[in-house]
Structure 1
Amino acid sequence: MAFSDDISACARLLERGDAARFRALMAAPAPLRPKLFAIFAFNLEVARAPWVTQEPMIAEMRLQWWQDALGEIAAGDRVRRHEVVTPLADALTVQAAEDLRDLVTARRWDIYREPFTDADDFGSYLRHTSGRLLRVAAQAVGPGDSDLLEDFGSAVGLANFFAAVPALIAAGRQPLLDPSPEAIRALAERGLQQLAKARAARGDISPQAGAALLCGSAAKGVLMQAQRAPERVISGLQPASPFALRAGLLLRSFTGRW
């Protein structure tokens, strides 16, 4: 898949709206970037759709637009002309397009103020958003074990969710089923176990697929901080320094040890 004006537009969207992931994708081998830019730009557009309006019906319509676009890709129909959808159609298999429809459905939680119903509901949200995203992105550029990829992606999603908790609370949401330090620590420990399991089985993930996982390079640090000081998840985790983030990304990119 070659670079095009649409791929450049996807890259610009990420650079403006998700700079950390943009830097991670720039650390991937150049031939892999077009597909990754398209897939992660799609995720950015879907993730922010529930937050650009206060009207649930409008947010639902925005998510349905992406559901319909993925349906066109999955059906092999003529795909609507759009700077993200057009290259996304070239990046996805029919099955991958179907799989991403679950991601869009999971994002409906972001529209409303109701909390997760239970731990399984929260786990499903992480698996169908971040887990599904990283699995589809990785397998778009190379072979890799689906369960390991979704485990890794779910742990990365938990780290990102922890970082977003103060903003979610400020927006009137109830992001955590149990905000006690003990419950938060248990979640962090589970996330760390998922990361360790995936990294211990790197041999089941091709180097090409692993390049898509570089966007999770900071997840372990976030989860370890939540494990050590779970109360900071509520008040706000201390972000790593830009130098440390860039150095860690460079090291993982150079060694291939995502």
Structure 2
Amino acid sequence: MLKCSSTTMRSCSAKWGAALFSENKKQMRRLLQNTNGQILLVSQIVTRHVGSSNASGDAVHRTKKELRKPHQQATNTISREDKFGAKYCMGLVEKYDYENYLSTLLLPKELRPSAFALRAFNVEVSRSVGAQVTEPQIAKMRLKFWYDSIDKCFETDANKSYVKDQPVLRELKRTVGSSKLNKLYLRRMVTARERPPNQAFETMRDLEDYADQTCASLLHLLVQLSGVQDMQVDHAASHLGKAQGITMLLRAIPHAGRQQAVSVPLEVLVRHGVSQERILRSDREDKGVEECIFEVASLANTHLKLTRQLLPQMPRLVRKIFLPAVATDGYLERLRRAHFLLTHPSCVKRDSLLPARLFWKTIFNKY
């Protein structure tokens, strides 16, 4: 009979035990497979049956976990709702306001969700007036809804109303709760769009006021998000809002219907002897139309230059908020090269170089 040392015996015993454990593991996996196709691991079964001494401790531990489950599920639900609302606002701005979407992406991370919430609210309000031509009553009801929702977002118990069910309002409520925003600017964004679509601007001052109430109000809110309080910053935001608003009205003329009034003020049309029909036709050889568009575009360019003259006095964060000036300047330059023909392909299609120019301006802290 062969004699084995104690070391050899321990090695043989370990190998035999490992082989037996592996074989038992395979068998237990086959035996413990349930009807749903789920397999209980051997390690879990062993842990559950380690000993009677630990059974009570495990039961208490599992009870604590079960007590924490409802709270964890509620927290996860809230976080999913917040993420959905933020993504919804981003998608809305990307689809309907692509240039400002690119500018907002370059804002600091802490300001981005709130900025997208404000821009999404602006998009929803502007979309509400799209039915004014065919269904003016429906457009009024939509605007009334958004106007009343502003007060709901400023209420402390807004979660009990319909605000929590609307992703844009839910994000706006969160933004209002985390920042001190002026309710007046939000209201102006809504009331300015109550203007009938067939009502023309009489003077250039009326055109400036409309641009100030829509675009400049949004810029003032974005400045308030940053926490900057400066008269020069507010002055620059007002000029940039007017420049951006007037430019957007010019860009909308080729897409306007026959029942809509042209955004060129009546005093400009009378001065050059041009009708609204000639503006809509936008004939390349019509010098009167060119002069009218030139005069309106020059007003927008003047406000843009005044904004850029204040650049040295602007804080670094505010310069990023004013990045929409890049897109405004790009369109006015393309319009100038096209001899103020609104239907020129370069003025109608999307600017493919805008992302690069925005990034370039960000590197040098300009707008």
Output the TM-score relative to the length of structure 1: 0.87
- Are 2:133 and 1:41 equivalent residues in the alignment? no
**C-alpha spacing 1:175/1:203, structure 2 compared with 1 (3 Å):** same
- Are 2:148 and 1:60 equivalent residues in the alignment? no
Does structure 2 retain, via aligned residues, the 8 Å contact 1:139–1:209?
no
- Residue equivalent to 2:353: 244
Which of 139, 158, 183 in structure 2 is aligned with 1:78?
A: 158
Deviation at 1:74, TM superposition (A): 4.4
3-state SS, counterpart of residue 111 of structure 2: helix
- Residue equivalent to 1:97: 183
Superposition pairs for residues 122-161 of structure 1, below 5 Å? Answer: 122-143=207-228, 144=230, 145-161=233-249
Deviation at 1:46, TM superposition (A): 0.6
CA distance in 2, matches of 1:141, 1:91: 12
Superposition pairs for residues 88-237 of structure 1, below 5 Å? Answer: 88-92=172-176, 95-109=181-195, 111-143=196-228, 144=230, 145-169=233-257, 172-177=260-265, 178=269, 180-227=289-336, 229=338, 231-233=340-342, 235-236=343-344
Superposition pairs for residues 5-16 of structure 1, below 5 Å? Answer: 5-16=84-95
* 4+ runs deviating over 6 angstroms: none
Does structure 1 retain, via aligned residues, the 8 Å contact 2:217–2:241?
yes
Of stretches 171-180 and 78-87 in structure 1, the one that deviates more from structure 2 is 171-180
Of stretches 145-154 and 79-88 in structure 1, the one that deviates more from structure 2 is 79-88
3-state SS, counterpart of residue 110 of structure 2: helix
CA distance in 1, matches of 2:346, 2:258: 18
CA distance in 1, matches of 2:345, 2:214: 22
CA distance in 2, matches of 1:12, 1:24: 14
3-state SS, counterpart of residue 173 of structure 1: coil
CA distance in 2, matches of 1:56, 1:123: 24
- Are 2:106 and 1:27 equivalent residues in the alignment? yes
3-state SS, counterpart of residue 46 of structure 1: helix
For 1:197-222, what per-residue CA distance to the aligned partner results, in whole angstroms no more than 9, with x for missing partners?
A: 11121244322233222233111122
Of stretches 23-32 and 146-155 in structure 1, the one that deviates more from structure 2 is 23-32
CA distance in 2, matches of 1:59, 1:39: 20
Does structure 2 retain, via aligned residues, the 8 Å contact 1:24–1:214?
yes
Letter paired with 1:73: C
- Are 2:106 and 1:18 equivalent residues in the alignment? no
Letter paired with 1:131: A
Over aligned residues, Cα RMSD in angstroms? 2.5
Does structure 1 retain, via aligned residues, the 8 Å contact 2:207–2:246?
no
For 1:112-132, what per-residue CA distance to the aligned partner results, in whole angstroms no more than 9, with x for missing partners?
A: 312123222211111111111
3-state SS, counterpart of residue 164 of structure 1: helix
3-state SS, counterpart of residue 89 of structure 1: helix
Does structure 1 retain, via aligned residues, the 8 Å contact 2:120–2:168?
yes
**C-alpha spacing 1:112/1:170, structure 2 compared with 1 (3 Å):** closer
Deviation at 1:70, TM superposition (A): 1.3
Gaps of 5+ in 2: 1-78, 270-278, 280-288
3-state SS, counterpart of residue 84 of structure 1: helix
Gaps of 5+ in 1: none
CA distance in 1, matches of 2:361, 2:227: 18
Output the TM-score relative to the length of structure 2: 0.63
CA distance in 2, matches of 1:95, 1:36: 12
